[in-house]
Structure 1
């Protein structure tokens, strides 16, 4: 149990295999009854054997003054929410009650004191204060309603009314059988860079590396597509084709983030004896999945043996060790996993894990301030990489390359990288994609990797011919 937390356990899903499907049914029902509400669905994806879904349509938008720093405003909003405190010897995981939302890449002007191009306020940061919701455990199939007990009066009054409505909605969702998401109408992708220009930019990155300006650079591009009318159906297609441990469907105001992210930016967890442990899991190194088991195994072996991919990953591990050391107790920053292969529906990835113990009274927001933007999306050294890439890419990245997730009232946090993601806003769906460039990179292979990372998302949007590129910048980098 946790002091200040109300929990109402429901009958579980029929079995663990049906839990992710039930989450979809509940979301469809929530949207039907709250068509204009902001929506939170933090999701570990179809077929996930562990993890959970957290669902809510009851968040309140955090008003952010665009002329003021974002992080202090979020700290104030989080402090204004009811406290949630663990009881001694409690091992139960806290639900993600607190703030849920995203940071855009251009928030780097605040965290690094560097100039950044202007972006719409929703692309810079959008957050909801969420004090109630439904947790569905993908491993056990268990469901429970959770809420912060602000008044200390338990399930009574307005909270009890919400509970009764949710119980009825979940029971209705159990009996419902929504059809599979319809296939999307055909659409065309408009790429910022065609293959020739992106390859030329890779060579420009390599020239800067040879000149000693950087060790590694994460070059990105973007594609835009006419937005689909139904973002819920879009996410249902994405989670079927690209299940991931940090899937999400977040609708805040006029912007919707659809994600199948495989990368943890920061995870902060309270330790049993007090204090907070922070962990990051940067990804650098990619291979496609093979056509059969033998080809798949060969690609894994190739990834593990690649000098280029290993060097790329190690450079970012060193960068993240440095960032975490700025907020961690002396001697606590350690590498607990190095160059491990994780496999997803479309790709194999090389992943490492770095963690430390936060110093004194520092918290998850301090960790964001020290580490954002993540080194896996900039390169090394971080400051010079950002400066070079801003010139060559020629456009803001927006929400792509930022982070999304939750900052909970108990001090925990789970923030994922905004990669393998789609932002739907103002009638346009935008996908960012890129990869790390080193001196050993092959420009044509970098083009192929960038396209591979976007392919399943474009397919979910209805794009059939990825080769249709309309570059909006000059053919050669300056």
Structure 2
């Protein structure tokens, strides 16, 4: 039995960066970041480190980190690890009282569905990496309160860590501009291939993405802080670790919730439909109104909403799945989105990990029907997506869960940064517009990472993109 849990108040901070800066160098440090005080919609920050155990899943779906769990499937192994954290918990509205925190990559979906795996693994992060955490620092921004959740021994240990001085963030810079894996012409050739599949009846919608990469030097925590300032979002997250392969990290600035489960109530919030923010209030209102009136964007959203209704129906109580919001407008720092809300009640014999497995990967970043869409994505995108379009989040001991869709996310490995921009293609999509949308979604991330310094050798207006093929390491 895990030692009894205690909930200790801490000084409240408007953002989690000060707390996490002290913890970020510790083993297994994780940050789930609501983007406050500037991002809309988020409420809780969850920080932790020094997990009791850590599981990684490789590209073949094999589980590493605990020999007793090695023969299980990835989700079964993670559930078995969570079941080890048996503890008495007090009544609390806090979202996390111990459990799993980590990520599940898009590539993990290939272990769940019949996808050939033609795309090359250009980034070799584990397909999933989750830790079992018996403590957390939680900030509730609605109530403006902070809490340390853990045993008495853990509390004393964490308070000692927090009393130390944070290592200052060091400089960060790109050492060359971002380069596109696909040229514009190569992207458009894949766009036309998707259109052919749609006309042939293989699919209704495909989420086609392209990848961009750049070499970097310096501190990834500084890079995350820069991204967070440029595009605060309610489902952000930061994980960085060093192993035999060198430094690896996920820097996610996602605006999209994937799955939340709280006391058996389930919610998912797919995003489909995007416009950039306007340069003036008048232009901004025009772009928002244009998005709300777009039949094409609404059709994309409705297709994915129906797909997710089906996914939730696999594990929710019959008749409980509802759509309280269809194609609602949400505005963020750099874009407007259409967002739907689908809810349900988890069946009595199901747990949140069953829900995650049933709906993974999220339909908003595959297309419809899901399995055929994933097969076409695997055929047309030259490199696997890694953590992009996967999920970051937590599953706690009471059966609560919250996960994001890892869009607007940067993967760091072997001295290079990788990020992706994508969008849903339907029958009446236009190639030039879709290509521009992939850039609109991530240009602000690339520009934030490429803020010039005195030794930059390229023009600022060109920092966001070099439209040439790159040599993948």
TM-score by length of 2: 0.87
Q: Deviations over 1:37-63 (max 9, x none)?
A: 321111111424651222222224523
1:256 paired with 2:249, answer yes
What secondary structure is seen at the aligned counterpart in 2 of 1:123? coil
Q: What is the aligned counterpart of 2:423 among 427, 435, 439?
A: 435
Query: Is the CA contact (8 Å cut-off) linking 1:127 and 1:252 kept in structure 2?
Result: no
What secondary structure is seen at the aligned counterpart in 2 of 1:429? strand
Give the total of aligned pairs. 439
1:104 paired with 2:105, answer yes
RMSD: 2.4
What is the distance in 1 between the residues matched to 2:57 and 2:430?
44
- Match of 1:25? 18
What is the distance in 2 between the residues matched to 1:327 and 1:469?
44
- Match of 1:57? 49
Structure 2, unaligned stretches of length 5 or more?
63-70, 452-459
How far did residue 213 of structure 1 move?
Answer: 1.3
How far did residue 410 of structure 1 move?
Answer: 1.2
- Match of 1:16? none
- Runs of 4+ with deviation above 4 angstroms: 117-121
How far did residue 122 of structure 1 move?
Answer: 3.3
Relative to structure 1, is the Cα distance of residues 96 and 248 closer, same or farther in structure 2, using a 3 angstrom cutoff? farther
What is the distance in 2 between the residues matched to 1:187 and 1:248?
25
TM-score by length of 1: 0.86
Q: What is the aligned counterpart of 2:127 among 120, 124, 129?
A: 124
What is the distance in 2 between the residues matched to 1:96 and 1:393?
40
1:114 paired with 2:115, answer yes
How far did residue 95 of structure 1 move?
Answer: 2.4
What is the distance in 1 between the residues matched to 2:56 and 2:126?
12
1:365 paired with 2:353, answer yes
**Structure 2 counterparts to residues 2-401 of structure 1, below 5 A:** 4-13=4-13, 19-20=14-15, 23-31=16-24, 35=25, 37-46=27-36, 47-48=38-39, 50-64=42-56, 66=58, 67=62, 68=71, 69-83=73-87, 85=89, 87=91, 92-95=93-96, 97-116=98-117, 119=121, 122-147=125-150, 149=151, 155=152, 158-166=153-161, 168-169=163-164, 184-185=173-174, 187-253=176-242, 254-270=247-263, 276-401=264-389
Relative to structure 1, is the Cα distance of residues 186 and 328 closer, same or farther in structure 2, using a 3 angstrom cutoff? same
Query: Is the CA contact (8 Å cut-off) linking 2:180 and 2:465 kept in structure 1?
Result: no
- Match of 1:273? none
Relative to structure 1, is the Cα distance of residues 342 and 182 closer, same or farther in structure 2, using a 3 angstrom cutoff? farther
Relative to structure 1, is the Cα distance of residues 354 and 285 closer, same or farther in structure 2, using a 3 angstrom cutoff? same
Q: What is the aligned counterpart of 2:469 among 452, 458, 471?
A: 471
Comparing 330-339 and 224-233, the one that deviates more: 224-233
